Amino acid sequence: MIEEEVMLQIGNALVSLDLAERFFCCDLDKCLGECCIEGDAGAPITADEMKKLQQIAPALKDELLPEAVKVIENEGVGYTDEEGDIVTSIVNGRNCVFTCYAPGGKCLCAIERAYREGRCDFRKPVSCYLYPLRLTEYPTFTAVNYHRWKICRSAEANGREKGIRLYQFMKQPLIERFGQSWYDELAMACEAYLEEQK
C-alpha cells in the first residue's frame, strides 16, 4: 500500500511539508547559480511574462552571452516545450538566455540585476523567483512542492547552519504570489507542525 504524502492546506493551496521540515538558504558563492544553467529546458513562464521579456530583452542585450543574443534574435525569448508549457529559450542546451556571469564564474540573472539597479520594472519570471519551489496548477487547487536536487545541497547546509527553514527563506516570493495573509497562515501552520514533532 502506497502512503499518501501529508500536505498542509493553506487557502486553495496544498503545501508540501518540506517547506516546514527542510532548512534552506541559497549560498551563491558555493553553487554559483547552477540552477540557471543545469536542466534540459528553460524556466517556465506565462504568456504575459513572455511578452514582458520580449519588451525588455533589447535593453539587456549588452549583458547577455553573445550566443544568447543570437538565440533571442533567431528563436525568441521563449518557446513551447514538448509538454505544451512556455519556457525561456536556452543556449547550448544549458544556460537560460538571460544568464550573465560575474567574476569567478558566478551565474547571475540579467533581468534581476537590471531590476535591482532600477533599470527595469520586472524582477524576473515568477517561477524563477519562487525557485526551488515548484507550483502545479490544478482545477481546484495549487500544489506547492520543493524541487530537491544535488545543486541545492549547499543551500540546505547553509540553511541548517543558520536555522532558516524553507518557508522562511521563501517568504517574499510566497507573499508576492499568494499574499501576506496566506503566508502568515502558512507560517503559523509550519510552526504548529514543527512544535508537534518535538
Query: How many residues appear in the chain?
Result: 198
Mean pLDDT of 10-14: 96
Q: What are phi and psi of 176, to 5 degrees?
A: -65, -35
Q: What is the pLDDT of residues 14-47, one digit of tens each?
A: 999 999 999 999 988 887 777 777 766 788 999 9
Instruction: List the one residue out of 54, 46, 55 whose CA is nearest residue 126.
Output: 46
> Which pTM value belongs to this model?
0.85
Q: What is the pLDDT of residues 97-135, one digit of tens each?
A: 999 888 778 888 999 999 999 999 999 999 999 999 999
Instruction: List the one residue out of 59, 85, 84, 82 whose CA is nearest residue 72.
Output: 59
- Residues 125, 54 contacting (CB under 8 angstroms): no
